[in-house]
A and B are shown apart, each in its own frame.
Chain A
Amino acid sequence: GAGVSQTPSNKVTEKGKYVELRCDPISGHTALYWYRQSLGQGPEFLIYFQGTGAADDSGLPNDRFFAVRPEGSVSTLKIQRTERGDSAVYLCASSLPGGFGYTFGSGTRLTVV
């Protein structure tokens, strides 16, 4: 596609529920990244995929967070047993190898009530 697409744009869920956030990267971008941004802060790195594999998942805060990219294109960030502290904007970005053409999506605003 022309840009990085993230769905849904907004998600409200109850504490304890499971959520999935989707990212559709720019066609041909082999690298895909997830970031989380809390109010008033800069984005914080969560996980980075090169192709289908997670090249770096050091930013995932705990084992409730998991991400997949089974065919090397679309990625899904999965959060189990959501907590109010998970409320944030979740940003996805994609790039060519080496980080060239780094492009962000518009994000998913997750609110856990």
Chain B
Amino acid sequence: SQQGEEDPQALSIQEGENATMNCSYKTSINNLQWYRQNSGRGLVHLILIRSNEREKHSGRLRVTLDTSKKSSSLLITASRAADTASYFCATDEGGGNKLTFGTGTQLKVEL
């Protein structure tokens, strides 16, 4: 069963704007990851944040984690048309190597 819920389900923005998507989860975790998926096929790992971290940056990506609220957000700054994809958060459900994915946010960046 899927643990995470993502919000919004779909997001449409103009190129150059920032995109923010949120993820909530239910149980304790060791880490949370964000993945990107183009055209419903392979997932590409974007960034991992550990439970003892509050914020992490990678290029135009900024991830925050609030373990008290069991939530995370992914911010993509200065979006580009090539950022159009589905974005998923995934957690380790408190242990083990299997991932539990959220329902995903479909991002569309228009020129």
State in angstroms the CA–CA spacing of A35 and B35 once bound together.
14
Binds A, one of B58-66, B77-85, B93-101: B93-101
A110 at the interface (CB under 8 A from B): no
B: contact size bracket = 20 to 34
Q: In the bound complex, do residue A99 and residue B40 qualify as a contact, i.e. CB atoms below 8 Å apart? A: no
User: CB-CB < 8 A to B33: which residues of A?
Assistant: 102
What is the number of residues of chain A that contact chain B, defined by CB distance less than 8 Å? Answer: 25
- B98 A45 Cβ-Cβ under 8 A: yes
Q: Which of A37, A42, A45, A103 contacts B4 (CB 8 A)?
A: A42
Q: B98 to A106, Cβ gap below 8 A?
A: no
Collect the chain A residues with CB atoms within 8 Å of residue B40's CB: 37, 39, 89
Residues of B1-35 at the interface with A, using a CB-CB cut-off of 8 Å, are 1-2, 4, 33, 35
Question: How far is A106 from B39 in the complex, measured between Cα atoms in Å?
Answer: 10
Q: Which of B4, B88, B99, B101 has the most CB of A within 10 A?
A: B99
A67 within 8 Å of B by Cβ? no
Q: Please report B residues at the A interface, Cβ cutoff 8 Å.
A: 1-2, 4, 33, 35, 40-45, 88, 90, 92, 96-104
Residue ranges of A at the interface with B (Cβ–Cβ < 8 Å): 31, 33, 35, 37, 39, 41-45, 48, 56, 59, 89, 91, 93, 95, 98-99, 102-107
